[in-house]
Amino acid sequence: MEFNRPEDIIDLTRKKIGDFKKFIPLVVLALIALIGSTAIYSIGPDEVGVIKRLGKYVVTVGPGLHIKLPFGIDKAVPVKVTRIFKKEFGLRTIRAGVRSRYSARSYLDESLMLTGDLNILDVRWIVQFKVKDPVKLLFNTKDPIENVQDVSEVVMRRFVGDYGVDEVLTTKREEVDDLAQIEMQKILDKYETGIGIVTVKLLDVNPPDEVKPAFNEVNEAKQEKERVINQAWEAYNKVVPRAKGEAERTIREAEGYALDRVNRAQGEAKRFAMVLVEYKKAVDITEKRLYLETMMKILPKAKQKYIIDPKQSSILPLLNIGQQGGIKQ
Q: Is residue 2 part of a domain?
A: no
- Residue 146 carries which side chain, given as an amino acid letter? E
Among residues 207, 241, 276, which one ends one of the domains? 207
pLDDT tens readout for residues 206-230: 888 777 787 778 778 888 898 999 9
Average pLDDT over residues 232-246: 89
Find the helix packing angle between 212-281 and 283-298, rounded to 10°.
130
pTM, entire model: 0.59
Query: Does 328 share its domain with 226?
Result: yes
Query: Does 23 share its domain with 60?
Result: yes
What is the structure's pLDDT at 273?
85
Full residue range of the structural domain in which residue 162 is found: 85-94+101-207
What is the structure's pLDDT at 61?
93
Tell which wins on pLDDT, 51 or 319.
51
What is the structure's pLDDT at 146?
93
Q: Is residue 9 part of a domain?
A: no
Q: Is residue 7 part of a domain?
A: no
Tell which wins on pLDDT, 19 or 102.
102
- Confidence category of residue 2, pLDDT binned at 50, 70, 90: very low
Mean pLDDT across the chain? 82
Provide the domain count of the chain.
3
Q: What is the largest CA-CA distance in the chain?
A: 209
Query: Does 176 share its domain with 111?
Result: yes
pLDDT tens readout for residues 138-162: 999 989 999 999 999 999 999 999 9
- Percent of the chain at pLDDT > 70 equals 80
Among residues 182, 207, 232, which one ends one of the domains? 207
Among residues 46, 80, 114, which one ends one of the domains? 80
What is the structure's pLDDT at 70?
84
What is the structure's pLDDT at 184?
96
Pairing of β 56-61 and β 47-53: antiparallel
CA dihedral (175, 181, 183, 188) in degrees, to 10, reads: 180
